[in-house]
Amino acid sequence: MAIRHDWTKEEILEIYNKPFMELLYEAATIHREHHDPNTVQVSTLLSIKTGGCPEDCGYCPQAARYHTDLEGNDLMSVNQVKAQALRAKESGSSRVCMGAAWRNVKDGEEFDNVLEMVRTINKLDMEVCCTLGMLTENQAQRLAEAGLYAYNHNLDSSEEYYKEVISTRGFEDRLKTIDNVRKTNVTVCSGGIIGMGETVEDRAGMLVALSTLSPQPESVPINALVPVEGTPLAEQEQVPIWDMIRMVATTRIVMPETQVRLSAGRTQMSREGQAMCFFAGANSIFAGDKLLTTPNPDVNEDMQMFKALGLNPQKPFTKKSQPESVDAENSKFQNLGEKPKWSRPGHTIERNLAAQGKSKKA
């Protein structure tokens, strides 16, 4: 099946709303045409700088303005990261994804340390991914030169619903960062969250935005919201497993080559539910007991599930060869000390404001 970049919302809605068994069958068929159905890529997500974020994402306990029980920490050292990466490798992960709670990357010592972390993990023969917020073209080039394999930057939801969740940056900034990453050989990981109160049309709208990118993202994480006390979305109801399976299947159909990543919310899913997601085309998970800050199944539990389902972890650099890491002293790219102007729409989101005003004990 040829990759299409002209999906419309109506077409995607028609797929999403098909009778369940037909949807599953179609997605599983496309999945088998493009991927080994018994192989699942396993990533470990590592929060290298936790909490204290200036943004107001309504789902996120790392936003400084909300009152949650989260304990923040400054940027980890390169040695700490190396030790964690080695542990992840021993337990079967092929990729380490480093997340920092930043609005955007700032040139300077901390970014230089992140570049060193990228070099260090790449030299362990693991795929390295980063999610550091908004990024300029020069910063993307520097990450690529350090040996970055993938950059994660989620669209979160449809462009329309994005405004109901985040007021401190615009949807167009997300697309601009993805575009900056695309100017390098780093692959793109971009997806979103369901269960934030969005409509099915919004879910389809997000898939339009992702599938019409050319090329489509190499990886698309589908997260189910994990409501955290103190955040604006704390009271949201759990997403029905059927919605998760439908979303995975629809993503698989409209983006046949992409790795569809079953991300946050797996602790709320049964093994049977996760198995249906794999059947519907999910072929990647995050391993480790924490997903940045929210709970995730234990690695051993995942390996037992893999055994029961006859699934095998994907080897690193199966989809694309390992990038080279250029050492800092041989870098072609300079620290430009950039101060880019990312947008700050600043519209009012009532539930975000209400959560800001609420004390933890209220």
Residues that bind ligand SF4 (CB under 6 A): 53, 55, 57, 60, 62-63, 101, 133
The rounded distance, in Å, linking the Cα atoms of 322 and 326 is: 13
Cβ distance to ligand SF4 smaller for residue 7 or 111? 111
Could you tell me which of 242, 232, 227 has the C-alpha nearest to residue 193?
Answer: 227
Does 130 show up as a binding residue in the annotation? no
271 is catalytic: no
In a 3-state reduction of DSSP, which class is residue 65?
Answer: coil
Catalytic-labelled residue, pool 119, 129, 169, 182 = 129
Catalytic-labelled residue, pool 95, 142, 189, 252 = 189
Does 95 show up as a binding residue in the annotation? no
Q: CB of residue 57 vs ligand SF4: minimum separation in angstroms?
A: 3
Catalytic-labelled residue, pool 119, 261, 266, 277 = 261
Cβ distance to ligand SF4 smaller for residue 26 or 173? 173
Cβ distance to ligand SF4 smaller for residue 190 or 274? 190
Q: What's the distance, Cα to Cα, between the start and end of the chain in Å? A: 55
Cβ distance to ligand SF4 smaller for residue 12 or 57? 57
Quick count: other Cβ atoms within 10 Å of Cβ 38?
A: 12
Does 53 show up as a binding residue in the annotation? yes
Strands, E, within 53-198: which ranges? 95-100, 127-131, 150-152, 187-189, 192-194
Q: CB of residue 50 vs ligand SF4: minimum separation in angstroms?
A: 9
Q: CB of residue 292 vs ligand SF4: minimum separation in angstroms?
A: 8
Catalytic-labelled residue, pool 95, 97, 169, 266 = 97
252 is catalytic: no
Q: CB of residue 56 vs ligand SF4: minimum separation in angstroms?
A: 7
Biggest distance spanned by C-alpha atoms of the chain: 58
130 is catalytic: no
53 is catalytic: yes
97 is catalytic: yes
Strands, E, within the chain: which ranges? 39-49, 95-100, 127-131, 150-152, 187-189, 192-194, 219-224, 259-262, 282-287, 290-291, 294-295, 312-313
Residues with Cβ within 8 Å of residue 2, at least 6 apart in sequence: none
Quick count: other Cβ atoms within 10 Å of Cβ 362?
A: 7
Could you tell me which of 216, 285, 198 has the C-alpha nearest to residue 253?
Answer: 216
Q: Which of the residues are catalytic?
A: 53, 57, 60, 97, 129, 189, 261
The binding site comprises 53, 57, 60, 97, 129, 189, 261
Q: What residue numbers does the annotated binding site for [2Fe-2S] cluster cover?
A: 97, 129, 189, 261
